[in-house]
Amino acid sequence: MIESGQSQRKYLQPEVVAKLANMELVARLVVEGFITGLHKSPYHGFSVEFAEHRQYMPGDEIKHMDWKIYGRTDRYYIKQFEEETNLKAYLILDSSRSMAFSSEGRLTKLDYSCYITAALAQLMIQQRDAVGLTVYDEVVRTYMPPHATKSYLKQILKQLELTSAGNKTGTAESLHNIAERIKRRGLVVILSDLFDDPAGVMSALKHFRHKKNEVIVMQVLDPLERSFAFGRDAVFKDLETNEELTTQPWHIQKAYQQSMKTFLDTYKRECREHNIDYVLLDTAMPFDTALIHYLNKRMRLG
């Protein structure tokens, strides 16, 4: 049965995707829902239909011409092969213990980030970009360099399915390490709660820029981490040290919100000053929020 556009777009909702069986299904349905939405947006011209083709150029062999597309569009397109990639993309995922937090039955920050990473990988491979995946906590746990084949996408999705929250946060040090590993510049997309010293993290982000990479930082938080609306009494447990603190959150909510605003504003300002795209997400947001930001960036890169 073919689903309607509205039905497909439900897969952009975190609570719907959380019920799906595996990462391959998540990636495919989220991207299909996203593309359905694009057809009613300013991005209608985005080359989704011809993801596996490129326009004919003088010197191309006629035997690779796709005559079916010519019949439909009156334009010449060449079938594009898997080794013909447009861009190298590096998806970098924070799997430190703080990413395991969730509230009110929502996805954890890590699960939410894994689903976005899966959808980005699917979308990039469809566009014939080469995609790699790096997962870190205190140190780099997984490093998969970019490739552009559908069989490699399956490996990335399998790795995401196996990813779980690990040790303490080491975002700054891990990002420096990853920046050194990248030999060919491309697009770096980082998904993390950025719960590390902002000065250290920004130093690492500038390391990517120094090596001529384009960078998108997607800071992923739980809604309660932004609002601190926990009610009158609560026990807080540090996910990385297991320390517990009993308090009445409403007493400190205003001070917390101001501290969080300062924390987020620092990243937003510093990223803007160093030509780094910054996106603030929380786990209640539909997935197309992240995908649209990626698409904006991708279209600017040509």
- Highest mean pLDDT of the ranges 95-104, 126-135, 207-216: 207-216
| 277 pLDDT more than 60 | yes
- Fold classification of 88-301 (topology level): Rossmann fold (3.40.50)
pLDDT over threshold 60, residue 48 = no
**pLDDT at residue number 240:** 64
Confidence of residue 232 (pLDDT cuts 50, 70, 90): low
Q: Is the pTM of this model over 0.75?
A: yes
- pLDDT band per the 50, 70, 90 thresholds, residue 220: very high
Mean pLDDT, range 263-272, rounded to an integer = 97
pLDDT digits (tens, 9 = 90+) for 104-161: 889 999 999 999 999 999 999 988 899 999 999 999 999 999 999 999 999 999 999 9
Start-end ranges of CATH 3.40.50.410 in the chain? 88-301
3-state secondary structure the chain: CCCCHHHHHHHHCHHHHCCCCCHHHHHHHHHHHHHHHHCCCCCCCCCCCCCCEEECCCCCCHHHECHHHHHHHCCCEEECCCCCCCCEEEEEEECCHHHHCCCCCCCCHHHHHHHHHHHHHHHHHHCCCEEEEEEECCCEEEEEEEECCHHHHHHHHHHHHHCCCCCCCCHHHHHHHHHHHCCCCCEEEEEECCCCCHHHHHHHHHHHHHCCCEEEEEEEECHHHHHCCCCCCEEEECCCCCCEEEECHHHHHHHHHHHHHHHHHHHHHHHHHCCCEEEEEECCCCCHHHHHHHHHHHHHHC
Of these ranges, 19-28, 82-91, 222-231, the one predicted with the greatest mean pLDDT is 19-28
Mean pLDDT over the full length of the chain: 85
153: β partners? none
Mean pLDDT of 263-273: 97
pLDDT of residue 26: 96
* d(C-alpha 10, C-alpha 135), whole Å: 28
* 184 backbone dihedrals φ, ψ, rounded to 5°: -120, 125
Instruction: From 144, 133, 131, select the one nearest 93 (Cα to Cα).
Output: 133
pLDDT-derived band at 44, boundaries 50, 70, 90: very low
